[in-house]
Amino acid sequence: MNDSPADQRYRPEDRVMQGVIPYLALPGQAGAAADFYMKAFGAKDIGRMPFEGRPGQFMHIQVEINGGALMLTDNDMMSGAIGGADPIPRGHLQLVVPDGQAWWDRAIAAGCAVLAPFEPQFWGDRWGLLADPFGLKWAVLTPDPALWDKEA
């Protein structure tokens, strides 16, 4: 059996395709980013659609991270600035997980840089901020365990 990312595809459960799904244009880097997210965040490769005539480039890649979908493309037309302004990545992708330290350690080992340490915050949760090699920011948050035991 081949262990390439394309051979690890599966059909996502309906719940993965709900809510808001980030779709990121990383021209020339979408495949490398998906591979990195598999190492750093335990992503599962759902599928890849290569660009015809553009070896190593993808029209569409979809991965599942922590039960949610993330879509990527090498399509440079999707990354253009609006109104002539330079595109500046703002905000971050948030991972809310019960075992944040494990997620944090794996991401650091894979090559993420620490922007804010993973530590208890004034609001009670443990939170930290990372930067990946593709210019995106990722936050890891573990809710305050005292909140888990409260009935809704």
CATH of domain 5-77: 3.30.720.120
Give residue limits of the domains in the chain: 5-77, 93-148
> Matching CATH topology for 5-77 and 93-148?
yes
Q: Facing residues of 141 across strands?
A: 96, 127
Q: Measured between alpha carbons, how far is 75 from 136 in angstroms, rounded to an integer? A: 17
Give the model's pLDDT for residue 50: 96
pLDDT tens column, 10-21:
555 666 766 778
Give the model's pLDDT for residue 76: 77
Give the model's pLDDT for residue 5: 47
pLDDT tens column, 97-124:
999 999 999 999 999 999 999 999 998 9
Give the model's pLDDT for residue 26: 92
Name the phi and psi angles at 32, rounded to 5.
Answer: -65, -40
Give the model's pLDDT for residue 11: 54
CA 110 to chain centre: 13
Give the model's pLDDT for residue 123: 87
- 46, burial (CB in 10 Å: exposed 0-12, middle 13-18, buried 19+): buried
Q: Which residue's entry shows tokens 């399509």?
A: 75
Q: Measured between alpha carbons, how far is 32 from 38 in angstroms, rounded to an integer? A: 10
Give the model's pLDDT for residue 46: 93
Per-residue pLDDT of the chain (152 residues; tens, 9 = 90+): 344 444 445 555 666 766 778 999 999 999 999 999 999 999 999 999 999 999 999 999 999 999 999 999 998 766 555 555 555 556 889 999 999 999 999 999 999 999 999 999 998 999 999 999 999 999 999 998 777 655 54
Q: What is the residue type of 55? A: P
CATH of domain 93-148: 3.30.720.110
Q: What is the pTM of this model?
A: 0.78
